[in-house]
């Protein structure tokens, strides 16, 4: 009885230079965010990021010639994830969220993510009157404008209503504070308890 020879395994198509380049950029951006969480903005260096991303210094500097280029790209990547993800990727013309649903969505998809602390490091750096500060502020201003308008609309508010906008700012401020608290609280349940308390308060507002 003859035995059929196994068919040769299909070879994976070789990645293009553009694909390899994008993979390196993604790895460096994620490593930058992780380093911001681990050591903070002041301690960031291209050497540290190359080690964390497991890429050569040459590959890193080819994609990001300066430290600032790397930091700006990491922040842009994170903001793009927020913008395109839940809940900001929803269409407020067809989807509405309750206050509870909005708070849970914001917490789960933005503020509970450890990378939010990395974002805070960069937001603080954006206060500086230098090249990096200006670049980060440009990203922030565009993002905040879009974020606030869609958040108001997702809960059925009017974007021209100053009080509706204030309520959104209050939600964001409270969640930002809880995220900071979570970064040094050893009990993860504390954040959940604070979120639940805030939802009870917000329902009455």
- Ramachandran assignment for 35, one of left (phi > 0), alpha (psi -120 to 50 degrees), beta (any other): alpha
In a domain, 50, yes or no: no
- Report the distance separating Cα 198 and Cα 149, nearest Å: 22
In a domain, 44, yes or no: no
Q: CA gyration radius for the chain? A: 21
The 10s digit of each residue's pLDDT in 191-201 is 999 999 999 99
Q: Give the pLDDT of residue 184.
A: 87
In a domain, 5, yes or no: no
In a domain, 96, yes or no: yes
In a domain, 82, yes or no: yes
Tell me phi and psi for residue 5, to 5 degrees.
Answer: -70, 140
At 68, is the pLDDT very low, low, confident or very high (cuts 50, 70, 90)?
A: very high
Q: Give the pLDDT of residue 17.
A: 79
Residues of the domain holding 73:
67-203
The 10s digit of each residue's pLDDT in 79-94 is 999 999 999 999 999 9
Tokens of 18: 């553009």
In a domain, 81, yes or no: yes
**pLDDT surpasses 80 at 73:** yes
Q: Per-residue pLDDT averaged across 91-99, rounded? A: 95
CATH number at residue 129: 1.10.357
In a domain, 141, yes or no: yes
What is the number of structural domains in the chain?
1
How many residues belong to the chain? 205
At 19, is the pLDDT very low, low, confident or very high (cuts 50, 70, 90)?
A: confident
What is the pTM (predicted TM-score) of this model? 0.86
Tokens of 2: 């003859």
């Amino acid at each position: 009885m003859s035995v059929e020879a196994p068919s040769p395994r299909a070879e994976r198509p070789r990645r293009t230079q553009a694909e390899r380049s994008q993979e390196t950029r993604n790895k460096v951006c994620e490593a930058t965010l992780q380093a911001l969480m681990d050591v903070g903005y002041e301690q960031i260096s291209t050497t540290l990021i190359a080690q964390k991303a497991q890429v050569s210094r040459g590959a890193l500097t080819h994609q990001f010639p300066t430290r600032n280029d790397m930091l700006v790209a990491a922040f842009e990547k994170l903001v793009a994830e927020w913008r395109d993800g839940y809940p900001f990727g929803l269409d407020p013309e067809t989807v509405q969220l309750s206050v509870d649903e909005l708070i849970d969505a914001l917490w789960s998809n933005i503020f509970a993510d450890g990378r939010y602390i990395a974002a805070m490091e960069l937001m603080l750096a954006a206060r500086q009157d230098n090249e990096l500060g200006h670049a980060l502020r440009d990203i922030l201003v565009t993002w905040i404008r879009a974020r606030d308008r869609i958040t108001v609309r997702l809960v059925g508010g009017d974007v021209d209503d100053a009080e509706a906008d204030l309520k959104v700012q209050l939600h964001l401020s409270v969640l930002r504070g809880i995220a900071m608290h979570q970064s040094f609280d050893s009990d993860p349940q504390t954040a959940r308890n604070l979120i639940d308390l805030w939802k009870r308060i917000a329902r009455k507002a």
